[in-house]
Structure 1
Amino acid sequence: MVRTAVRTVTLNVYHVGDECVNRYIASAPHTNYFSNLVSFFRNQCMDLNRLVSETLKNPGPDSTSAIIAAVDEIEDNLYYFSDVISAGIPDVGRLITDSILMLLIFPILLPSLRLLDVNDMQSGVVTSLYLLCCILRIVKIKDLANTIVMALFYPLEALTTFSRGKVNGYISDRSFTSVSQEPDNDNIAKCNAECLTVNVPNPSSSPSE
């Protein structure tokens, strides 16, 4: 109830439409709230994967209800992200979408789609596909969808982040089961939509198999 009340109040503020209010919301240290919110969302996604993995190994009477509750929380957060972005504050929208890419999709979800062992249950693959579908279905941002689709067809190394002419990205091969280091939220807060570029290799120059 408290969380719902806070979100209602904040959304009312975000939809005021005043330029001074927008600058205040999109300035430091207030932007840390959105980065921390995406970090919290990432942890929820990892908790969901653990629930699914444990349920596959040791099914229990409460497993289904726990997974459903976790899914509801994740979708609720995604709808909140969508509502915040729809408020029309460009810097906040870019911060949220970039944070989702750099904190969750690039380092965790996409690498988890790589099948390393055909004999493994690969519950992380199923969870990653579900989360990607949820993000695309609820957070309807064209640039976000285009980047995810591009990343599915090209190696993650082709997706690089540049800030002020220097590489300032966070891409790794970590999956749900191996997370030991977290990116700097300050760097994520400084990133904007213009700095995200996709280096598409020339198909004619690709090596033959």
Structure 2
Amino acid sequence: MAPADETHTTGQPGLRERKKRQTRVALSQAAIRLCVLHGWDAVTVDQIAAEADVSVRTFRNYFTGKADAIAASHVERMLLIADDLLARPAGEPLWDSLLHAVLGRFAAPDTSGPDGFASRNERWSEGVRLMLAEPALAGEMVKANAAAQQGLAEAVARRTGTDAESDVYPKLVAAVVAAGSAVAVEHSLRADQPVPLGAVLAQVFEQLAAGLPVP
């Protein structure tokens, strides 16, 4: 029997790895929640650790600071999208599968909280906009996006029988999905009238699947 902290032959992480991932997610969500509600400069690492019910030392074991913690949610979400993509029916068209996977992680009811970036109300939306515009976050988001795209490219490669290292296709699909999702979030947050993120995502992926025809 494999130890609880090892990855099993099925590819599923062991108990220890799952707990570490849960702690990372809890800290990341706490950082987002506090920064959105109180503003970037008003939030400290001590407050984030307390919000997640862990020690500051535990926070430092996972992240270098607020920006790193917040960016981690993007990586986690894209890795979950990759998992969901691989779980979709084998005969389903790729872009249909991607739409279902993305909608499930960006626009599902249980992601309307701090890490879902869904527009709950005007104050929340404004807080998210301000947080995402924070210069200190920009560099970490670039690194997070690269890691997220790599994870998604590997899933696309498995799904399509291509190679995530030597073939352009899975990398291109992952980059397009990341860019399309970011555009949808930005559009939903900045619309003059509230626009459901799910509806914008559906529109984005419909156009992507059609090859971005000129309107």
- TM-score interval for Structure 1 and Structure 2 normalised by the shorter chain: 0.3 to 0.5
In the superposition, the TM-score normalised over structure 1's length comes to 0.37
Relative CO higher for 1 or 2, CA cutoff 8 Å, sep ≥ 6?
A: 1
- When the two structures are superposed, what TM-score results if normalisation uses the length of structure 2? 0.36
From the two aligned structures, give the one with the greater strand fraction: 1
